[in-house]
Structure 1
Amino acid sequence: MKMLIQNGLIVNSDSTIRADVLVENGKITAVGSGLDAAGAEIVDASGKYVLPGAIDSHTHLEMPFNGTVSADSYFAGTRAAACGGVTTVFDFAIQRKGMGIREIAQERDALCRPQACVDYAFHVALTDLTDDVLTEFQDAVEYGLMSYKLFMVYKKDGLMMSDADIYKALLRSRETGALISVHAENPDIIDLNIENFLKNGQTSAWYHYLSRPEFVEAEADKRAIHWAKSTGAPLYIVHLANADGMKAVEEAVTEGYTIYAETCPQYLHFTCDVYKREDGRNFVCSPPMKGQASQDALWEGIKKGFITTVATDHCPFTTKQKDWGKDDFTKIPNGCMGIENLYPYMLSEANKGRLTFNRAVQLCSKNPADIFGCTEKGAVLPGKDADIVLYDPAIDFTITNENMHSDCDYTIWEGVRLKGYVTRTYSRGRLVFQDGTFCGEAGWGKFLKRAGRSAESKA
């Protein structure tokens, strides 16, 4: 298959040029003018931006949690991704006791492979850090599994890792080229807050936020950063949502340490006030949305370069599932949707002048590709996969659940107005979304085996 995208404005993380893009057999083979169009399908991108596909490096599809399973299957989740310009999705393979790293990833792959509409990869969430698992780090990295998540919370759910285990994992990651990420919150303070609220009959969604206020996350961020600094290992903090944690990241990076900070669109757009709404339970996620000062700090972190990536933590639950906690916030399944909103939201903010389009591409495509070893993703350049998005900056788009492509029956983004929108998505040269319509298929996506970091590299 040969395709020539003409007359568009190509936006990469470090450049903006008017040029054509030649695609052959799923790869970008040339970028420039006067390219050979013989036998090619011609795509006129006049008035459009030509962007690399986004990488959502944080999703939870078909995830068992709180006695249920998240609402989007691998098919529905990757379909929604394609319709929002996301061409690579990272999901979490959560280890069960006694299982190895490759074993749990391969089990998850068997579920995902026949359903995936775009390319995908896995982070392995470690919950049982035995000596055998630590030994397996090297083989797993060579297999293409180089990123591991450790929870500092969810003690009662059996997911939490001890401080010592996280420290051991950081030491081993430095030796093997793996990358450790953490969900940073203080579980003991959360549990104490919850106990007190329930005793006092304070059970609405607002108390979900009050049980996990800013300092509960910030304290854990700072602990994890101290461990990374002492081991010389890089650290990736997922879904950063608070001002003090942002400050700690900035200080560590300024000192020369490799600390990556990810935030999410919901933290950039909503504040904790959503938990006072009648539908506040729909916004329950962990960490929760925080106050205006924290949101301002995150945007400042984006402006100054200390936020490294934006991803979604996509983990939707239906209205019926969320209603389990209508009278008790502790029973609300934690998670919100966003996989289809990631790129359109960040590009809309760029279109409004809040950041540059180059920075939006860097946060949503180039940086996650580089950090997580997706060597063929992240840019519209020769040799890269033809993961390409056409974006029309002139479209006025209002998000409604009816025009989304998730299996969830509502969206927290209902009524949000965007300036500009994705009009086409190509996955390895194949058209998977066009003008509001999904046109991909289950099973098209392929598993990405990713390159590890350089072992023994100091932060």
Structure 2
Amino acid sequence: MALLIKNGKIITAEQSYQADLLIEAEKIVQIGKDIKAPEAEIIDAAGKYILPGAIDAHVHMQMPFGGTVSADDYAAGTKAAACGGVTSIIDFVTQAAGETLVDSLKRKEAACIPQAHIDYGFHVCITKMAENTVAEMKELVAYGVPTFKVFTAYKSSGLMIEDGDLVEVMQAAKEIGARISVHAENGSIIDNRVAKFLAAGKTSAWYHYLSRPEFVEEEATLRVINLAKSLDVPVYIVHLASQEGVKAVNRARNEGYEIYAETCPQYLHFTKDVYKQDNGKDFVCSPPIKGQASQDELWRGIERGDISVLATDHCPFTAEEKEWGKDDFSKIPNGCMGVENIYPYMLDKANQGQLTFNKVVELCASNPAKLFGCSDQKGAIAPGYDADIVIYDPEQEFTVTADKMHSNLNYTIWEGLELSGYPVTTISRGEIVYNNGEFLAEPGRGKFIARSLEA
């Protein structure tokens, strides 16, 4: 059945205007005043905003890490996403030891297909350059996965890539039309500091931050940017959290280099002081949340355009698993929840006047679509685009509590957050999947998003 949204205010990255919106066969087919569609189901959006669904381009669903697996499988993770106004995710596929890149994708996709409530894509992590790596990268690009990630940390977990391989990956990406994202922290310094703190009996969550403070991220960010500049290769820095890292991105962009960065809501809201709290372990993620100066610079980076994307790095673990590190911070599984909170959090900031609603759409929808190769179908409100729509009520008051969230968790780092305005309806490819607190979608309805950076 067709769906007609009437009387709402449409907000895109470029403009805001009053109009009706007609949806048929999963697509937006008409935008205009006083649209007539007698057979359509009508949603009256008077007093509300009509936004593109958010694209969370950085999640880790069902990810093995730290001796366990992240708490949200695709069923719970995509349900939580939809309830917060996220209509597409891009998840990370981590290559296991002895596994080809292609096989790692097939393994992850097999887990996703029967569970996903919303549309999904993948990035593939490269942990080592092998004889067939470039050929496999080409195969994945042709399949619709043109984005790859590397780590400059987590050596003991088998994820860290050496600088020589990093250069080869960057060069290969340039040749085949792919883009490289980098987790930029100095892994060797981290390992050294962790060992020294533990040997000295300094074991609380505060020492997670001190083992990888600002300069550890900043050095690696500068190194990655300098390599990218030397090779004239576009690069994307994931979950940027440090003051000097933002400044390095700003300098490179001002010099004309194609450098992109994302940050996450936890870095915009909390400071390193959370690690001194009794529940500090719950906030352990990497890079860790930094100091006030870094947070302030991140907001300035958003204003200047140095931060191109807001994403979550959604990688939650249960409260019981976080307890593993109560006497040894190095045993705390690294990751926080956020996929249900990112759009409401950023839209609340717009509602308060800290930035515009158009800027939020740019950061959370249109820029992810452009940078990751699906801007021909996602991230915008226009005829021919997928009908991925969020209806937002700027008057809806909402307080985040664990019992209102939809992840496989009984706690949230966002507990008690008071929001002015909240998404009340989420539409995925023309289907209402969430409406006024009720989740309506069936698992397995999500579709793979084949992406191309040539789009």
Instruction: Name the TM-score, length of structure 2 as normaliser.
Output: 0.99
Aligned to 2:128: 128
With 303-312 and 35-44 compared, the bigger mean Cα shift is at 35-44
Tell me which stretches of 4 or more aligned residues in structure 1 moved more than 3 Å.
none
* CA–CA distance in structure 2, aligned partners of residues 144 and 296 of structure 1: 37
Contact 2:128 2:165 in 1 (8 A): no
Q: 2:433 matched to 1:429?
A: no
1:88 deviates by: 0.2
Moved more, 119-128 or 75-84: 119-128
Q: Is the 8 A contact 1:433 1:440 kept in 2?
A: yes
Post-superposition Cα deviations, 1:417-444, rounded to whole Å, max 9, x if no partner, equal: 1110000000001011111121111001
| Paired letter, 2:434 | F
Greater Cα offset, 349-358 or 123-132: 123-132
SS, match of residue 451 in structure 1: coil
Tell me, in whole angstroms, the C-alpha distance in 2 between the residues paired with 1:262 and 1:452: 18
Secondary structure of residue in 1 paired with 2:346: helix
Q: Which residue of 2 aligns with 1:161?
A: 161
1:369-417 CA distances to partner (integer Å, 9 max, x unpaired)? 0111112000111110000000000111110001111111100000011
List per-residue Cα deviations over 1:204-246 (Å, max 9, x = no partner): 0000000000000000000000111111111010000000000
- In 1, distance between residues paired with 2:169 and 2:131? 10
* Residue of structure 2 equivalent to 1:385: 386
Superposed displacement of residue 453, structure 1: 4.0
The equivalent of 2:207 in structure 1 is 207
Contact 2:21 2:32 in 1 (8 A): yes
Which residue in 1 is equivalent to 2:30?
30
CA contact (8 A) 1:286 1:334 kept: yes
Distance 1:25 1:453 in 2: 26
Q: Which residue pairs with 2:407 in the alignment?
A: 406
Q: Could you tell me how far apart the structure 1 residues matched to 2:174 and 2:377 are?
A: 24
User: Once the 2 structures are TM-superposed, how far is the Cα of residue 113 of structure 1 from its aligned partner?
Assistant: 0.5
Amino acid in structure 1 at the alignment position of 2:50: V
Match runs of 1:179-328 below 5 Å: 179-328=179-328
Q: 2:65–2:333: 8 Å Cα contact kept in structure 1?
A: yes
Runs of at least 5 residues in structure 2 that lack an aligned partner in the other structure:
none
Is the 1:179–1:453 contact (alpha carbons within 8 Å) kept by the matching residues of 2?
no
Is contact 1:97-1:128 (8 Å) kept?
no
Matches within 5 A, 1:108-147: 108-147=108-147
Assess if the C-alpha contact under 8 Å between 2:371 and 2:453 holds in 1: no
- Contact persistence 2:170–2:228 (CA under 8 A): yes
Hey, what does 1:77 align to over in structure 2? 77
Residue 82 (structure 2) pairs with residue 67 (structure 1): no
Indicate the residue corresponding to 2:448 in structure 1.
Answer: 447
SS of alignment partner, residue 452 of structure 1: coil
Question: Aligned partners of 1:287, 1:438: CA distance in 2, in Å?
Answer: 33
Separation of aligned partners in 2, 1:141 and 1:88: 19
Tell me the distance in 1 between the aligned counterparts of 2:128 and 2:172.
15
Structure 2 CA distance for aligned equivalents of residues 323 and 119 of structure 1 = 33
**Does the residue aligned with 2:337 lie in a helix, a strand or coil?**
coil
Distance 1:370 1:99 in 2: 30
Please give the secondary structure, in 2, of the residue aligned with 1:431.
strand
CA contact (8 A) 1:71 1:407 kept: yes
- Distance in structure 1 (CA, Å) of the matches to 2:438 and 2:262: 30
Number of equivalences: 454
Q: For residues 126 and 414 of structure 1, what CA distance do their matches in structure 2 show?
A: 35
> Identity of paired residues, percent?
56
Partner of 1:457: none
CA RMSD of aligned residues (A): 0.9
> 2: distance between equivalents of 1:124 and 1:74?
17
| Structure 1 residue 139, shift from structure 2 partner | 2.5
Counterpart AA for 1:86: V
| Aligned residue identity for 1:376 | Q
CA contact (8 A) 1:265 1:345 kept: yes
Q: Secondary structure at the match of 1:423?
A: strand
Deviations 1:111-149, CA, capped at 9 Å, x for gaps = 000000000010001113213111222222121110000
Structure 1 residue 105: deviation in Å? 1.1
- 1:178 and 1:453 in contact (8 A); partners too: no
- Give the Cα–Cα distance (whole angstroms) in 1 for the partners of residues 261 and 407 of structure 2: 27
Aligned residue type for 1:6: K
- Structure 1 CA distance, aligned partners of 2:82 and 2:299? 26
